Structure 1
Amino acid sequence: MSKLFESVTVGRHTLQNRLAMAPMTRSRAQADGTPGDMTAEYYSQRASVGLIVTEGTQPSEDGQGYLFTPGIYTDAHVAGWKKVTDAVHAKGARIFFQLMHAGRMSHPDNTPHHRQGVAPSAIAPGAGMFTLKGMQDIPVPRALATDEVRQTIADFRFAAKRAIEAGADGVELHGANAYLIQQFFAPSANTRTDAYGGSIENRARFAIELAQAVAEEVGADRMAIRLSPGATLWGIDEGEEGPDLYRYLIAELDKLGLAYVHIMHQGDDALLADIRKLWRGALVLNRPGRPREQVGSDVASGLAEVESYGQMALANPDFVERLKANAPMNEADRGSYFGGGAQGYIDYPALAA
């Protein structure tokens, strides 16, 4: 495990260790998407890791899916996030903003403009979503016109610019977990007949063009992408061609020289091995539910440069110190994951307490 605590270069940055905090939605932003008063404390508590990836942050009004998620496209958003980045940098960590467009995983009651969600195609996910009125079925989204796809790319590009203005060390595109980018990958969500649908190359086009645009804006070595090959959340089915789509996508992204690719591993070890061969840059690997005794194994074997952790980082502000001391971990309080105040957010005890 000792290799976990060594520094590593990722893109243009050197991380103080090979541990990352995975992005986790906490739904504690203000109604306008500005990070809440406790957000800086929350992230700075966990800044003993080398890299923090923020919760999914919408690049536009259309991009919001859930209640009280943060944005990064207004002056107020930038000012709020600047407090966060300053606090994290004071502890020595690097912080990448995860840019997340929810696509069809949205409800009009949760967005500033209260408009119908947008997606590759007008296909509902067949799921519910929590709103201030309680759980409601997610309505059928509106299919993006071709020019609107390009405008969405421009929205991401602008949000990436604003993230850097807010002090972010980089941005991570959220291409996982059934949100907009993965919706383009999946035939179950994408039945388009233009350049963004049909073939593997077309279904990967949105992600590739998006990565190219953001790389042009902030520098390829300050951007990354998160992927969850094979994930089947909320009606997503990538079909038999799914693994080949990711092989094609990774090979194309490799040409751009991004800071890292962040893989949420779903169990296809053969595909993961191929991704490692195709991807020449830094690989950040997240294995949901990884047992404590396997922490550090992917870095030790050379499969990944960095390992990312969700619940353990959420529940243990001194995650790195506990690993070094082989100390017990706090258990995460699932009931306080989304929304609320300090409880289950900034009140998890550290070892020193």
Structure 2
Amino acid sequence: MIVVKVVSAEMQDRSFSLEAGSFTVGSSLDCDVVLLDLPVQSQHFMLHVQSGAVEVVKIAEGPLEIERSSKGRESLHVGGRVVWGVDDKLWISGMCLQLQGVASERATARRVSRYLKRSDVPRLGLVLASACMLVIPFLGAHRSSAGGEQGPQVPAPTATQGDLSSETAVRRSLAEVNVRYENLKLVSGTWSATLRVADETGRSDAERKVRSLPFSFRAEILVDEQLKRAAALVLSHTLTSAQIVSMANGVLTVTLPSGEGKAGYDTFRALRSDVPGLVTVRFKSASSAELDQIRGAIAGVWLGKYPYVLLNDSTVVRPGNQLAEKAVLVSIDSDFITVNVHGSEQKVFIK
């Protein structure tokens, strides 16, 4: 198995693995390795891996250079082929990809994400966003531990630390450091669980708490902020106008405009399959109370050449302007107005 390290000045270092086979690299979600940086084309280049050797084939216009220690950088042209060695660096503008050599499957599994097959050829789904890495496997994945590396661990417990093989004792220790967790289990003498945090600050705090535990513990930390970015990316490639309202503890709430029932079902399936770590997806529409509040704030409407809504505080609102909190005026008719609330268009009937 080949390990590839990705280094960029704007992102933390990360790694992914390549088994024997052919892999497409590009910004399209159909690629085996997905890089969402601006210079990357939809299908930028191919990687052919066989017997521990890697061949690079450029298949689209765009920056792609190979740097050899003895020859410096060399630009690749479309259709060009080159062998990528362990001491060579592959450059896409400011992003550097470097082989870390061949690793055993067991060693690699501790450092990088391992992906199941989508077809007879192993497939990878790695999304590198401009601010952080978003991993979108196409099928189930054995995801990496906290921070993309092996989860924070401390030495195994000794006899003086008490009986930490007991699940009750482990749960008590986790409660003492105020760690919220799920899927607690014991595998090969090591306790592991999934932790959910809101952002990177929460991740750092969770890692600190895990290190303080008096026993060996592997944590998979899922960050709501990153899951939200991944969900937004998936939604941008679906045929729906659904918008994200919130993400909390792995629960994604999105709006779904009326009349998009079938699209909503497809959206649900896409999010659940392409964003690992989601607990569920909830759909939200404007409540009757919100619509009543909007209706109560309206003093009258004008249907002339330049229609507008007059509010009780004498504010004039024209189509395209904000009518209320999280509500934008879309259009005005004689008996009702159309507003966009939480990304969903709703009719508000007026007297």
TM-score between both structures, scaled by the size of structure 1: 0.25
Higher helix share: 1
Structure richer in strand, relative to its length: 2
Larger Rg: 2
Instruction: Tell which has more relative contact order, 1 or 2 (C-alpha 8 A, sep 6+).
Output: 1
Structure 2 length as normaliser, TM-score? Answer: 0.25
